Amino acid sequence: MATILLVYESSEGQTAKVASFVASELRDRDHRVDVERASDLPSTLDVERYDGVLIGASVHAGEHQTPVRRFVTANRDTLSSAPSGFFSVSLSAASEDEQSREAAAEIAEDFLADVEWEPDQVALVPGALKYSKYGFFKRLLLREIARRESGDTDTSQDYEYTDWDSVAEFADDFARLVEEATPMAPDSGDAASSE
């Protein structure tokens, strides 16, 4: 069993939902997972004690959240010495337009370059349109963006675009990465005496 830290930041809740799903997938593989919101990290958190670290952030106005940026910058050396992964949640990743998906990839690449971190795994996760969580002007803006991209424009409901099978695959791949890098305690039933 490995011990994994999952740090995330979420504005309207979809990245928190993705983080919870990833943690559940990892726990199903018998790993211990501590999930922490980047803006609420305890000062006593010791990142070095984990066998692997996953970080998730959502994109707003072309940027990932500042608390995630601060966390990565402060823990860059530890993140580089253990298995690590990053998932970026955005509406652009859900777009049918190739240029929009490329823009989502570029935002993630720029973030990673800015914080000087090269995670072992990166996933672009389609997010959600949470009209019910937006203020009046943001709701109008996002409806207009959705209209331009042939998306969902009925602001009386929310729309989720996350591909949960892909998220499960990302979690599974990360679990394997950590398992390969983490020496597991020998099973006492397998011990054989040598004479």
Which residues pair with residue 124 across a beta bridge? 88
For residue 27, which amino acid is it?
R
Give yes or no: residues 107 and 13 share one domain. yes
Tens-level pLDDT at each residue, the chain (195 residues): 899 999 999 988 999 999 999 999 999 999 999 999 999 998 889 999 999 999 999 998 889 999 999 999 999 999 999 999 999 999 888 888 788 889 999 999 999 999 999 999 999 999 998 899 888 998 888 898 888 777 898 999 999 999 999 999 999 999 999 999 987 644 434 433 333
Give yes or no: residues 110 and 70 share one domain. yes
Give yes or no: residues 112 and 154 share one domain. no
Distance of CA 145 to the CA centre of its chain: 24
Handedness of CA 46, 88, 102, 145 (dihedral sign): negative
Give yes or no: residues 87 and 149 share one domain. no
Task: Answer whether residue 81 is part of any domain.
Answer: yes
Give yes or no: residues 110 and 19 share one domain. yes
pLDDT tens-digit readout, 141-173: 889 888 877 789 899 999 999 999 999 999 999
Structural domain range at position 81: 3-127+162-184
Distance of CA 107 to the CA centre of its chain: 14
102 φ/ψ angles, rounded to the nearest 5 degrees? -65, -35
